[in-house]
Chains A and B, each alone.
Chain A
């Protein structure tokens, strides 16, 4: 029982259905100590249900949940070594900041003495830089301050697993990016294992070490943020994380060092790296991220991986612009151009442009 290679949290084939409708289907995950793990998905994908099962607010219909090797599936919420930061923060409105943070400490079996609790509360509030607000009531705090208090409160009992439910959901955009890094710093300084739920891919990528993309109650892909972004394993993941162009193509040529496909939308064949696991004639999706596409006004020299179209729309975003190029077939393709010259405005609406990308830029999607 060294526990060195034993995961802190293990979810084994957990399913949950509500009145015949299954919200979570056979989910298995294993999360290591100290990891920040994100469950990412749109609304209704089952991520919140899964989190609520970890907290003990719902019980799995099937499967088991282990924390530090112990099956906690049947343990009621108030006895689990797990604490949660709620989306709405759920701070007790009738208690001061200090009382909120002390609440969990006061519930412990071997209760600390009053001065010990006070000392611990001060430590926690200092950790989240809220020590000057100890006597305030939650309704006298701003959104960011409330979040810090909620975080301190959920860390007070030194949980084995910290759960974050849409941690930035209640904050405005600017505060969000600042708090994301701050919360990660605090969680890492404490060293607690953390599972967060979010629908915001940027948030998941900023905060988490590993992400699991969920869709319709199932896990589509688990990986680091860059794995998920650069090597999506399905159309859903590719489209959910960031922007992507997907071309429906048919395998025409299988060579040792490349594979060639044809796509009705394109003027040229598509060439991808070797190792495509499909026979000749198979239909596949080829995903190309818009920032990996180069736009020129001259026809590119390469024979494959290019297309031609008219600029239909330009979204100027300051640092870069997104160009929407309409192909002859009617399909729209997105390309990103960096705005590194202040005066240059080389491409404009209705211009004929060529888009091309390298053989290593595209990802083959089998499903």
Chain B
């Protein structure tokens, strides 16, 4: 292999090693240590004393996760919220992607731009804007009260509803783009063939478009579901104290309790939980590529 090819392949590997694998090993290591009042606030796994090298692995952090049901509840609730948000995202994004893919070439790019445009602003600011929209004397409540539809503000901020709004809003482009790419590739003559054989438009959609866009739906769902499970900013800013998500628990362990070992264990378990959908996705993808 030439030097050029080596470096082309080497650069991404180096990147992944430095910024993914090394931090992961560090977190993995911390998860087996004990909390300590020191800098950094955990004990070393390897100690040298009396001419003995001792490796002490503390599994207590992991067993602790199962003694306090806060963690299990947080995991389950994260998966549930991320799952529901992914489904809503899919339902909202599909028609958007479909319309963009079917639009004339000239308007297509403009429409795509509209989907991507919000991401040009800071994520934090966009979520903060939703606080202003959803709060009791915010945009929606004020408007509804001005119309006279309600006379008491509806509590939307600091509910799970607000978290769904936030996730669907923030992750929509990640669902729209893979769906769009997939629907763009859909051969129009297949739709014509289905119509030609007597299928009315809704049936053409159900029997041809939908099954052929499965790969796009799966890819989009993964791109939304996986980061949503560990989402911190959205549940923290929009979900209030009621909403339990593992990202928030993680933050509290790290920064409020300063318990880095337990926090690391929480992170490792989350990663293991996400490995399941990721590997399923990977298996599906390789199968698609093979056929």
Q: Report which A residues bind B (CB closer than 8 A).
A: 55-57, 76-79, 82-84, 86-88, 90-94, 103-104, 107-108, 137, 139, 153-154, 156-157
Most-contacted residue by chain B among A76, A78, A88 (CB, 10 A) = A78
The residue that B199 contacts in the complex, of A57, A94, A107, with Cβ under 8 A, is A107
Task: Chain B residues near A92: list those with CB within 8 A.
Answer: 190, 193-194, 207-208
> Does B196 touch A at the CB level, under 8 Å?
yes
Interface size class of B (residues with CB under 8 A): 20 to 34
Please tell me if the beta carbons of B212 and A103 are within 8 angstroms of each other in the complex.
no
* Contacting residue for B192 out of A77, A91, A94, A139, CB 8 A: A77
Closest 4 CB pairs of A and B: A107-B198, A104-B197, A90-B193, A90-B189
Is there contact, CB below 8 Å, between B193 and A77? no
Could you give 27 example pairs across A and B, Cβ below 8 Å? A55-B196, A56-B196, A57-B196, A77-B192, A77-B195, A78-B197, A78-B201, A84-B192, A86-B189, A87-B189, A88-B187, A90-B190, A91-B193, A92-B193, A92-B194, A93-B212, A94-B212, A103-B194, A104-B197, A107-B197, A107-B199, A107-B203, A108-B198, A139-B291, A156-B197, A157-B197, A157-B198
At the interface, yes or no: B148 with Cβ under 8 Å from chain A?
A: no
B200 at the A interface (CB under 8 A)? yes
B213 vs chain A, min Cβ distance (A): 10
Q: Which residues of B contact A94 (CB under 8 A)?
A: 211-212
Q: For the complex, give the distance between the alpha carbons of A101 and B40 in Å.
A: 69
Question: Contacts of A137 on B, CB cut-off 8 Å?
Answer: 291
Partner of A77, one of B187, B190, B196: B196
Which residues from B are CB-within-8-Å of A90?
A: 187, 189-190, 192-193
Closest chain-A Cβ to B196's Cβ sits at a distance in Å of: 5
Alpha-carbon distance between A92 and B193 when the two chains are bound, in angstroms = 9
Q: Is the interface of A mostly helix, strand, loop or mixed?
A: loop
Q: Which chain A residues lie closer than 8 Å to B212 at the CB level?
A: 93-94
Alpha-carbon gap, A139 to B289, bound state (A): 13
**Contact A84–B196 (Cβ < 8 Å):** yes
Beyond the given A107-B197, A154-B196, could you list 7 further A-B residue pairs with CB under 8 A, ordered by the A residue number?
Answer: A57-B195, A76-B195, A77-B192, A78-B198, A84-B196, A88-B189, A90-B187
Task: Tell me, in angstroms, the Cα distance from A76 to B211 when the chains sit together.
Answer: 24
Chain B residue numbers with a CB within 8 Å of A56 are 195-196
Q: A93-B212, A139-B291 are in contact. Are A153 and B197 (CB under 8 A)?
A: yes
Q: If A88-B187, A93-B212, A94-B212 touch, does A57 touch B197 (CB 8 Å cutoff)?
A: no
Residues of A within 8 A of B291 (CB): 137, 139
Question: B216 to nearest A CB, angstroms?
Answer: 14
Task: Give min CB distance, B257 to chain A, whole Å.
Answer: 51
Q: Roughly how many angstroms separate A103 CA and B199 CA in the complex, as a whole number?
A: 9
Give B70 Cβ to nearest chain A Cβ, in Å. Answer: 45
Contacting residue for B197 out of A76, A83, A93, A139, CB 8 A: A83
- The chain B residue with its CB closest to the CB of A76 is B195
Please, how many angstroms separate the alpha-carbon atoms of A107 and B197 in the complex? 7
- Using Cβ atoms and an 8 Å threshold, which residues of chain B touch A107? 197-199, 203
| B198 adjacent to A57 (CB under 8 Å) | no
Q: Which A residues touch B201, using CB under 8 A?
A: 78
Q: Which residue of B lies closest to A159 (CB)?
A: B196
Residues on A with C-beta less than 8 A from B208 are 92
Chain A residues lying within 8 Å of B195, measured Cβ to Cβ, are 56-57, 76-78
Contacts of B196 in A (CB 8 A): 55-57, 77-78, 82-84, 154
Contacts of B193 in A (CB 8 A): 84, 86, 90-92
Report how far A104 CA is from B207 CA in the complex, Å: 12
Q: How far is the CA of A104 from the CA of B5 in the complex (A)?
A: 52
A57 to B193, CA, bound (A): 10
B200 near A78 with CB under 8 A, answer yes
* Interchain nearest-CB distance for B208 vs A (Å): 6
A93 contacts across to B, CB distance below 8 A? 190, 212
B258 to chain A, nearest CB (A): 54
Residue interface mask B64-85, A partner, CB < 8 A = 1: 0000000000000000000000
Q: Once the chains are docked, how many angstroms separate the CA of A57 from the CA of B188?
A: 11
Distance of A182 from chain B, by nearest CB (Å): 22
CB distance from B274 to the nearest CB of A (A): 29
Q: Which residues of A contact B211 (CB under 8 A)?
A: 94
Q: Please, how many angstroms separate the alpha-carbon atoms of A234 and B198 in the complex?
A: 41
Q: Which residues of B contact A78 (CB under 8 A)?
A: 195-201, 204
Most interface-central of B189, B192, B198 (chain A CB within 10 A): B198
Closest CB of chain B to A299's CB: distance in Å? 59
Expressed in whole angstroms, the minimum distance between the Cβ of A154 and any Cβ of chain B is 8
Q: How far is the CA of A54 from the CA of B196 in the complex (A)?
A: 11
A90 to B192, CA, bound (A): 9
Q: Which residue of A lies closest to B200 (CB)?
A: A78
A153 vs B195: C-alpha distance when bound (angstroms)? 13
Beta-carbon contact of B192 and A57 below 8 Å = yes
Give the distance in Å from the alpha carbon of A57 to the alpha carbon of B291 in the complex: 31
CB within 8 Å of A: which B144-194 residues: 187, 189-190, 192-194
Q: Which residue of A lies closest to B291 (CB)?
A: A139
A77 CA to B198 CA, complexed, in Å: 7
Interface 0/1 of B277-288, CB less than 8 Å to A: 000000000000
A148 to chain B, nearest CB (A): 16
* Interchain CA distance A82-B194 in the complex, whole Å: 13
B199 to A, closest residue via Cβ:
A107
- Inter-chain CA distance A120–B203, complex, in Å, is 22
Query: B192: which A residues are within 8 A, CB to CB?
Result: 55, 57, 77, 84, 86, 90
